[in-house]
Structure 1
Amino acid sequence: MAERESRPTATKTSPGSRPPRPAEAARQACDQLASLIVHEPEGVSGVTRHEDGWVVSVDVLEVARIPDTTSLLATYEVRVDERGELQEYRRVRRYRRGAADDC
């Protein structure tokens, strides 16, 4: 089994402190999603502020193939609250790495 890449641990906010910034929310969403699914996040394609936290779009390699342009990726929508705690996640899209977005 492959070892997970070590990532710096994101600092969670304490009561009364400021909410996480977009980069912190994205890092926390990626870390928490990785602990729940068997695939490692490859990157973040969106961060949106909501009244109760953040919605982060996380791109994940689900099936590696050769050539790499035929690998299957997925985008997960991850909601974290004001403290950076995961509230929910869901896969919203699955696509080939070499595929263009629909216009």
Structure 2
Amino acid sequence: MTNTKDTKNTARTQSSPNTPKGGAGNDDDPDGKDDTVTDDRPSPMEVLRQARAQLAELTGMTAESVSSFARTEDGWSLEVEVLELERVPDTMSLMASYEVELDPEGQLTGYRRVRRYERGRADAHRPGGR
């Protein structure tokens, strides 16, 4: 036979709002302090979503994809592919690549168009990868 009398009390103790995440105390930490560091910076996926949304809002054009993405000293740098002019057939639509700069929190600080092309056209092959 199992003892269910203290089940309610045990559940309340485990889910107490004053109990730090991970239980009541940390046996691995000799000083008893919670050394968890919280990082309020956005994740890379959040940065990508924010960049696309902010660029679309500023330009009024649809941000279709992100073709490059890198963390920099000043925040983030992305290259975003944008639909500039929709045509029929779709392969004739006019696309553009925008270089987008964001601060460490993911807020857009600047952008510029670096290339314009038809959706159906591939880049010319350049020997030596340049």
Task: Give the structure 1 partner of residue 45 of structure 2.
Answer: 23
Q: Which has the higher helix share?
A: 2
* Residue 79 (structure 1) aligned with residue 94 (structure 2): no
The sequence identity of aligned pairs, in percent, is: 52
Task: Give the structure 2 partner of residue 65 of structure 1.
Answer: 87
Task: Give the structure 1 partner of residue 120 of structure 2.
Answer: 98
Query: Residue 48 of structure 1: CA displacement?
Result: 1.1
Which one has more relative contact order, counting CA pairs under 8 Å at least 6 apart? Answer: 1
Q: Which has the higher strand share?
A: 1
Tell me which amino acid in the other structure corresponds to 2:76: W
Query: Residue 20 of structure 1: CA displacement?
Result: 2.4
Task: Give the structure 1 partner of residue 14 of structure 2.
Answer: none
Task: Give the structure 2 partner of residue 11 of structure 1.
Answer: none
- The alignment's C-alpha RMSD in Å is 1.4
Which ranges in structure 2 are unaligned for 5 or more consecutive residues? Answer: 1-37, 126-130
Which ranges in structure 1 are unaligned for 5 or more consecutive residues? Answer: 1-15
Q: 2:68 aligns with which of 46, 50, 70?
A: 46
Distance of 2:123 and 2:78 partners within structure 1: 19
Tell me which amino acid in the other structure corresponds to 1:73: M
TM-score normalised to structure 2 length: 0.63
